[in-house]
């Protein structure tokens, strides 16, 4: 369990860096979806299934969808 | 190793702040705000964890089994959902800004200008 | 993206701003790490409140999922506040994305612009997944007091089902499935049901949001008093809220146009 937590923490740290470094919003929508999934796996490793479920649904599905819709609306 | 989750939480917070400060597109800024929020989730869950603890669900195990803290999980759970709704609100504000001012560059959005 | 707008007097350049931030971040990071290193090893200590609730929740509230018991019973008042934050956020979003006076709703123009280009595989998969997703949402909401889940997760999954409908078919189909007055009524009814259950706790048991219904045995579907009812109320409200969120964004994208675009 410790190895899983260590790996998940490192993936989340790299994922946060990748989300910030993706300057184009369309690319960032995909990266933030993967970051939400990585956070969900980290929460599972910390024995928190409720929080993981919430984060996967919101951070990996609802948030990138709304971001994509906002991008499509603001593209001229 | 004993403080690694805290270090990762601080790292995520600072990385998100860097993204907000150096952002050139308002939608990118909003997602960086959401990244800063996620650092607090990691910190809360690390505080509540215990070595060898199980998830606080006692369907088929006796309820005296050592489990992790349910209170911080309850806080984080509602925080995630409500944070998503507030981020959607910020995206709606950005959509309206673009409609009226035709730009999403934070450097050009100075309310005191002109 | 690389050239910058002309600098006003006194404004920092991009590089100077970044350097200033890195200095500040180093200071903030040092302070935070100094404070966090004083905390005990993250694997050792569980806060005492959590330990007490873990030991007593199953017997006291007949609920095997302790997190839901905390959300809807022990800390039910905080959940009421969070639910209303979501309500207010969706309200303000619907207000912001309303049709302005210089815009109009064009239901027919989108047909010409958005010809049906999704493949048959996508449409079939989405159509096949809608039913199981709705079932999953209902299951997770209803079993909130038994297994991980509850109203918050189930509500968002239900909103995702509507998104699958839109992805698998087209805008008019999705519109038929979410009559907006019904969605808004469901959202308000969920919020109202939570408050009414709290008031009923006040009337029948002497404290707001007190668990006043018979508790049953842990592990039954009908157990834990008001916890599954509050979970369903929150599920309704969150589902209605997120359906409204997605609908407003889709409306803005597909239907609302500026008035002079119609002439061009």
Residue A2's closest chain C neighbor by CA? Answer: C43
In a domain? residue B14: yes
In a domain? residue B113: no
Collapsed DSSP state (helix, strand, coil) of residue B55: coil
Question: Which pLDDT score, from 0 to 100, does residue C264 have?
Answer: 41
Query: How many folded domains does chain A comprise?
Result: 1
Q: What is the Cα–Cα distance from C146 to C68, expressed in whole angstroms?
A: 8
Tens digit of pLDDT for each residue in C29-68? 999 989 888 887 777 777 888 888 888 888 888 888 889 8
How many Cα atoms within 13 Å fall on the side-chain side of residue C256? 18
Per CB-CB distance under 8 Å, the chain C contacts of A65 are 163, 246
In a domain? residue C197: yes
Question: Which pLDDT score, from 0 to 100, does residue C22 have?
Answer: 92
Spell out, as residue ranges, where chain B has pLDDT lower than 50.
none
- CB atoms near residue C130 (< 10 Å): 19
- The strand pairing partners of C65, in sequence order, are B57
In a domain? residue C7: no
Taking the Cβ of residue B108 and every Cβ of chain A, the question of whether any pair is shorter than 8 Å is answered with: no
Q: What is the Cα–Cα distance from C192 to C207, expressed in whole angstroms?
A: 18
Span A59-67, average pLDDT: 93
Query: How many folded domains does chain B comprise?
Result: 1
Question: Which pLDDT score, from 0 to 100, does residue A37 have?
Answer: 95
Domain membership of residue B74 as a residue range: 4-108
Q: Domain with B70 in it: what CATH number?
A: 1.10.287.3510
CB-closest option in C148, C245, C250 to A53: C148
In a domain? residue B11: yes
- CB atoms near residue C29 (< 10 Å): 16
Three-state helix/strand/coil letters over C56-94 = HHHHHHCCCEHHHHHHHHHCHHHHHHHHHHHHHHHHHHH
Q: Is the pLDDT of residue C263 over 60?
A: no
Per DSSP bridges, beta strands C256-258 and C103-105 are: antiparallel
Question: Which pLDDT score, from 0 to 100, does residue B105 have?
Answer: 85
Query: How many folded domains does chain C comprise?
Result: 1
In a domain? residue C46: no
| DSSP H helices in B2-69 | 4-21, 26-48
Complex ipTM: 0.91
Residue C253's closest chain A neighbor by CA? Answer: A73
Per CB-CB distance under 8 Å, the chain B contacts of C85 are 82, 85-86
CB contact under 8 A, C67 and B82: no
In a domain? residue C131: yes
In a domain? residue C57: no
Q: What is the Cα–Cα distance from B10 to B17, expressed in whole angstroms?
A: 11
Taking the Cβ of residue B38 and every Cβ of chain A, the question of whether any pair is shorter than 8 Å is answered with: yes
Question: Which pLDDT score, from 0 to 100, does residue C111 have?
Answer: 59
Question: Which pLDDT score, from 0 to 100, does residue C64 have?
Answer: 85
Q: Is the pLDDT of residue A17 over 50?
A: yes
Tens digit of pLDDT for each residue in C197-211? 989 888 888 888 877
Q: Which tokens is A21 given?
A: 């470094």
Is residue A37 a contact partner of residue A56, using CB atoms and an 8 Å limit?
yes
Domain membership of residue C176 as a residue range: 64-102+117-259
> For chain B, what is the mean pLDDT?
88
Domain membership of residue A70 as a residue range: 2-74
Model confidence, pTM: 0.90
Listed in sequence order, the residues at least 6 apart from C194 whose beta carbon sits closer than 8 Å to its beta carbon are C79, C80, C83, C230, C233, C234, C237
Per CB-CB distance under 8 Å, the chain C contacts of B14 are 25, 28-29
In a domain? residue B60: yes
């Amino acid at each position: 369990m410790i190895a899983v937590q260590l790996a998940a923490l490192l993936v989340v740290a790299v994922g946060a860096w990748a989300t910030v470094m993706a300057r184009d919003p369309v690319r960032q929508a995909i990266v933030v979806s993967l970051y939400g999934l990585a956070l969900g796996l980290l929460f599972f490793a910390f024995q928190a299934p409720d929080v993981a479920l919430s984060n996967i649904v919101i951070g990996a599905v609802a948030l990138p969808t709304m971001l994509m819709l906002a991008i499509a609306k603001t593209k001229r | 190793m004993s403080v690694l989750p805290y270090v990762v939480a601080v790292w995520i917070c600072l990385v998100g702040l860097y993204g907000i400060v150096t952002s050139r597109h308002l939608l990118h800024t909003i997602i960086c705000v959401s990244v800063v929020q996620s650092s607090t989730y990691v910190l809360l869950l690390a505080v509540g964890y215990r070595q060898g603890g199980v998830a606080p669900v006692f369907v088929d195990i006796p309820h005296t089994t050592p489990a992790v803290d349910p209170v911080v999980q309850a806080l984080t759970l509602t925080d995630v959902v409500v944070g998503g709704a507030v981020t959607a609100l910020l995206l709606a504000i950005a959509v309206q800004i673009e409609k009226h001012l035709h730009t999403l560059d934070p450097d050009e959005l100075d309310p005191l200008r002109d | 993206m690389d050239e910058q707008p002309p600098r006003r007097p006194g404004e920092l350049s991009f590089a100077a701003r970044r350097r200033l931030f890195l200095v500040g971040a180093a200071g903030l990071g040092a302070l935070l790490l100094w404070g966090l290193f004083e905390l005990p090893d993250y694997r050792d200590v569980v806060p005492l409140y959590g330990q007490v609730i873990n030991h007593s929740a199953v017997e006291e509230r007949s609920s095997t999922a302790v997190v839901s018991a905390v959300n809807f019973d022990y800390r039910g008042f905080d959940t009421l506040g969070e639910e209303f934050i979501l309500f207010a956020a969706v309200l303000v979003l619907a207000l912001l994305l309303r049709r302005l006076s210089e815009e109009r709703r064009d239901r027919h123009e989108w047909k010409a612009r958005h010809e049906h280009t999704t493949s048959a595989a996508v449409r079939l998969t989405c159509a096949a997944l809608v039913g199981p997703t709705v079932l999953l949402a209902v299951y997770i909401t209803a079993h909130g007091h038994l297994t991980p889940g509850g109203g918050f997760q189930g509500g968002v999954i239900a909103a995702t089902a509507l998104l699958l409908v839109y992805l698998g078919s087209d805008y008019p189909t999705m519109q038929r499935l979410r009559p907006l007055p019904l969605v808004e009524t469901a959202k308000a009814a969920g919020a109202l049901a939570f408050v009414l259950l709290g008031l009923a706790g006040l009337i029948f048991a002497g404290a707001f949001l007190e668990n006043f219904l018979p508790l049953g045995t842990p592990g039954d579907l009908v157990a834990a008093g008001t916890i599954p009812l509050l979970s369903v109320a929150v599920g309704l409200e969150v589902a209605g809220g997120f359906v409204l969120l997605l609908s407003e964004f889709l409306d803005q994208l597909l239907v609302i146009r500026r008035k002079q675009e119609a002439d061009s």
